Amino acid sequence: MTDRIPRIAFQGERGAFSEEAAVKLLGEDIELVPRATFDALYSSISEGLADFIIAPIENTLAGSVHRSYDLLLECGLQIKREIVRPIAHYLMGIPGSSLESITLVESHPIALAQCERFFAEHPWIRRVATEDTAGSVRDIMQAGDPTQGAIAGRRAAQVYRATVLLDNLQDHYDNFTRFLLLSTDATIPEGADKLSIVVRLAHKPGTLHDALGVFAWRDLNLLKIESRPIPGCPFQYRFYLDIHASVVDPRTIGALAEIRNFADEVTILGCYPQAPPLEAEVRSKSKEAGANQ
């Protein structure tokens, strides 16, 4: 046994939305390990740099994070928990800057695209796409130029001591990201009621219909289906399924046994506690954001 605090790897720089999700899920008593890319993130545990990783898997506006889906299967890690977090964008500058002084704003392309109304209302501000929201805040703070701003989450302002010039720039308040906590531990967490699997189906007519039917007729709710192409097999796909189910439920055991009749491969990614689609805190923050506009 060890008293070492858990090391949590996330993609991006300090202050990223993934870092905020890790702290919300596990508390402040963790060691945060920033990783530059998704590939680096998913190799963090195998390289001995982290005990867990937290990864975004889908956003309500931008859709699925495809690279995360692909690496989720390749890495062999298990999903332990999930969390849904609101994504609120803030305009930041160096201390002493103001909205009037800003002529250039940096951020990740998705963050910039989610703030179209702000740029339409401030046409003199030029947008610059960068690799990371929080990294953009770090960069403008290092530059020390009052004409440069960045769009990121509030935690980035705290980490880099930037000045928040405007809050809740996002065009839509139903902007949420679902994050997964992954580890090598294959034990089933207490309260696990959500199952994620990947299936590679036989390439025959009706196979997908038959495969999904094993859950439907057992009254197991299919929450999401995501298809991803199989490298080296043009126009063939693996299907990622999220099901409201527990692996200890006899219905689930029967469904997993039957689906193998239609699938060439079945991989269990994890059985874990399902996060509410929109937590109470998420709803209240969304309403607060709307009131502040």
Q: Kind of pairing, strands 90-93 and 148-152?
A: antiparallel
Q: Is 179 one of the catalytic residues?
A: yes
130 part of the active site: no
Strands 63-64 and 104-107: unpaired
Catalytic, out of 10, 17, 118, 179 = 179
Backbone dihedral region for residue 158 (phi beyond 0: left; psi -120 to 50: alpha; all else: beta): alpha
Give me the catalytic one of 52, 118, 176, 177.
177
Catalytic residues: 177, 179
